[in-house]
Amino acid sequence: MANQKLKIKKLKLSATGYIDSATQIASPNFDARPENTIIDLIVIHNISLPPNIYGGPGVEQLFTNRLNPNEHPYYAEIHTRKVSSHFFIRRNGELIQFVSCLQRAWHAGVSSWQGRERCNDFSVGIELEGTDFEAFEPTQYNTLKQLVKALKKSYPIQHIVGHSDIAPDRKTDPGLYFEWTKI
């Protein structure tokens, strides 16, 4: 499946905060956004589990608290973390959704954007399968563009930023290989 390219149709966000055609894998790692929160930020991340390995179940396992610490030495360090993202885009363009956009996914951590703290409160998190050290696939950008369009139709998105922009002392993703002009 890693080499299979998926044809991405126009994406639609439902009133319940789910993309109709995304694969749904429920994460327990979310909570309610603060009352009257306006969702106006998209945060782009990258992730691969094990590090620099693509196509396996590690990301889904991490976001659903099922990561086996014995499967890889890195997993022993991170298996107790309670993290998630709204979306994950695999190398082949497959779109997976873990948390409704109406809920607060736990993707940004300690963060701030233009003087506002706690970016999880007002952002949608999108993880791209990849690393800081390798180019992303054209099909990932295609899916990302369609996803951003769908999100902008439902929310007054003002900015699309990298994790490194909201947590510069801690994070470097999506990395130097992410091509901002493609979205």
Active site residues: 127
Q: For residue 62, what are the CA distances in angstroms to 28, 41, 65, 68, 158? A: 11, 24, 5, 9, 29
In the block, residue with structure tokens 């993707």: 107
Q: For residue 8, what are the CA distances in angstroms to 29, 37, 173, 180? A: 27, 30, 24, 20
- Spatial CA neighbour of 11 closest among 152, 122, 159, 130: 152
The token pair at 138 is: 């054209």
The DSSP H or E segment spanning 96 is: strand 95-97
